[in-house]
């Protein structure tokens, strides 16, 4: 029997724990009335939320379908098998593990399955847009393994020649392709050739672009890489989980590759899978296989490009001068260094949620970076298109110009007091409050979860 959307979505929670009810209701109101523009965030479907909050959270299912360590898993097996088959079809792979709790443990599992401690690995440098788990020095991936990162060129594009040099000279066991702040299409084919020449495993971390790949808005890595990792909650619009997939090319390189990865996830790193999340993943994969999702993925990219054009028309500089995907990286150094924290907080007051972010060759520290990162998945989910992107681009430019005069003190002791004063000032800034009202009005025309009444 189909479960209907309940009008009183959190009625039981309201009676049991008013404090939690109030916090969740306020967060729903925040999401409804503001522009969620962090590129790693999105809004799931109601069906995904229902599965994620279902009775599947009650079950223990250590092991894999047909090979469980607990009884009573006959229906859990149906759920996990469905998620696996849908992932294989959608991404054109021969094996999928849908049990990783999140993206970072999935990436660690791949490294532990493919490498020995001390082996050389190579991924995009963190401050050039890469990810912590691709070998950054403060991550266990950069401490258990010898990390030799590659970088972007002055134009912001991946330095393919440097990747080739590292591959041939250092012979990394694993080369990562993927990022957390890279706005151009990934060169899967070129890196695949380099990996083949050097003998490395090429692993594509598509966490940010999985939905774009599923919808045909970004090239697929499947023909060129050996392993694919992804989270499921970004452009894919699923719950907060992850997957590891092995390609046909990967199985040709090592026929035991899928088995090694499965054993590393369980029993190597994890216990029982989160079955409620697995169900949510399965639903998201089904949704992503439909024709309307292809239109949605294409619109995400159209919106990002329209937003990029509007920001540049308003004098705002972007890393690589544009985007091929869902993401924009704004370079604020024209106004000085370390401006990201000011712009992020000012945009928050204006009802626009982004995150401060380093830019390539950032003159400031990662704690006070010189850029902001934004994206279009969540606002595209709400139905916004190019016309709205032009409006939003103008508003963001206005906010940036409103706070561009703030300067971070050189004295570290004075910074916290200065930032405290800054936050108090922007909270009362009439221009930002006026923009907040415009944002709220815009959002009222693109309702979020209209059938849910807490």
Has 70 been annotated as catalytic?
no
Rounded to the nearest 10°, the torsion over CA 431, 434, 440, 442 is -90
Long-range contacts of 413-420 (CB under 8 A, 24+ apart): 415/368, 419/341
User: What is the H or E stretch that residue 244 is in?
Assistant: strand 242-246
User: What is the H or E stretch that residue 88 is in?
Assistant: helix 74-91
How many whole angstroms separate alpha carbon 7 and alpha carbon 83? 29
Tokens coding 207: 């966490």
Has 205 been annotated as catalytic?
yes
Residues 6 or more apart in contact with residue 279 via CB below 8 angstroms: 51, 52, 54, 56, 79, 83
Going by C-alpha positions, the residue among 219, 185, 413, 411 that lies closest to residue 304 is: 185
Has 362 been annotated as catalytic?
no
C-alpha atoms less than 13 angstroms from C-alpha of 287 in its C-beta half-sphere:
22
Does 267 sit behind a cis peptide bond, omega within 30 degrees of 0 on the bond before it? yes
Tokens coding 155: 């134009």
Of the candidates 33, 41, 60, 171, the residue annotated as catalytic is 60
**C-alpha gyration radius of the chain:** 22
How many whole angstroms separate alpha carbon 13 and alpha carbon 31? 20
Has 234 been annotated as catalytic?
yes
User: What is the H or E stretch that residue 317 is in?
Assistant: strand 317-318
Tokens coding 18: 């008013």
Has 60 been annotated as catalytic?
yes
Has 33 been annotated as catalytic?
no
Of the candidates 240, 253, 260, 294, the residue annotated as catalytic is 240
Of the candidates 205, 262, 324, 402, the residue annotated as catalytic is 205
Of the candidates 32, 234, 249, 436, the residue annotated as catalytic is 234
Q: Enter the DSSP assignment of 267.
A: I
How many whole angstroms separate alpha carbon 151 and alpha carbon 279? 38
Q: Pairing relation of β-strands 201-205 and 227-231?
A: parallel
Of the candidates 41, 59, 62, 317, the residue annotated as catalytic is 62
Of the candidates 44, 133, 229, 231, the residue annotated as catalytic is 231
- Residues marked as catalytic: 60, 62, 205, 231, 234, 240
């Amino acid at each position: 029997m189909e479960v209907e959307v309940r009008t009183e979505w959190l009625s039981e929670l309201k009676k049991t724990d008013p404090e939690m009810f109030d916090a969740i209701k306020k967060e729903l109101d925040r999401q409804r009335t503001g522009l969620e523009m962090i590129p790693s965030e999105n809004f799931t479907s109601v069906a995904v939320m229902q599965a994620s909050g279902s009775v599947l959270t009650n079950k223990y299912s250590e092991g894999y379908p047909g090979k469980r360590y607990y009884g009573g898993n006959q229906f859990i097996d149906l759920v996990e098998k469905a998620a696996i088959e849908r992932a294989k079809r959608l991404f054109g792979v021969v094996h999928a593990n849908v049990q990783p709790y999140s993206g970072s443990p999935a990436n660690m599992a791949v490294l532990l399955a493919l490498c020995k401690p001390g082996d050389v690995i190579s991924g995009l440098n963190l401050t050039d847009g890469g990810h912590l788990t691709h070998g950054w020095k403060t991550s266990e991936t950069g401490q258990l393994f010898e990390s030799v990162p590659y970088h972007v060129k002055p134009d912001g594009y991946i330095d393919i020649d440097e990747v080739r040099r590292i591959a041939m000279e250092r012979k990394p066991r694993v080369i990562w392709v993927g990022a957390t702040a890279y706005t151009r299409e990934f060169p899967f084919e070129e890196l695949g050739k380099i990996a083949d020449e050097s003998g490395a495993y090429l692993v594509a971390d598509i966490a940010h672009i999985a939905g774009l790949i599923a919808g045909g808005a970004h090239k697929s890595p499947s023909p060129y890489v050996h392993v694919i990792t992804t989270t499921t909650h970004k452009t894919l619009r699923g719950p907060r989980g992850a997957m590891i997939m092995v390609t046909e090319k990967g199985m040709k390189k090592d026929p035991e590759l899928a088995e090694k990865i499965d054993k590393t996830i369980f029993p190597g790193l994890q216990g029982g899978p989160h079955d409620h999340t697995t169900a949510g993943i399965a639903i998201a994969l089904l949704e992503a296989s439909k024709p309307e999702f292809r239109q949605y993925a294409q619109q995400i990219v159209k919106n990002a490009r329209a937003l990029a054009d509007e920001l540049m028309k308003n004098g705002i500089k972007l890393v690589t001068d544009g985007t091929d995907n869902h993401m924009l990286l704004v370079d604020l150094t024209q106004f000085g260094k370390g401006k990201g924290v000011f712009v992020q907080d000012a945009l928050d007051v204006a009802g626009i949620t982004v995150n401060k972010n380093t830019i390539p060759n950032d003159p400031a520290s990662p704690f006070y970076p010189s850029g902001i990162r934004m994206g279009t998945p969540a606002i595209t989910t709400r139905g916004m298109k190019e016309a709205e992107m032009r409006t939003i681009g103008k508003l963001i430019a206005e906010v940036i110009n409103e706070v561009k005069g703030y300067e971070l003190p050189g004295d570290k002791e004075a910074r916290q007091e200065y930032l405290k004063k800054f936050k108090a000032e922007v909270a009362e800034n009439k221009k930002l409050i006026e923009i907040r009202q415009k944002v709220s009005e815009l959002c009222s025309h693109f309702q979020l979860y209209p059938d849910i009444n807490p």
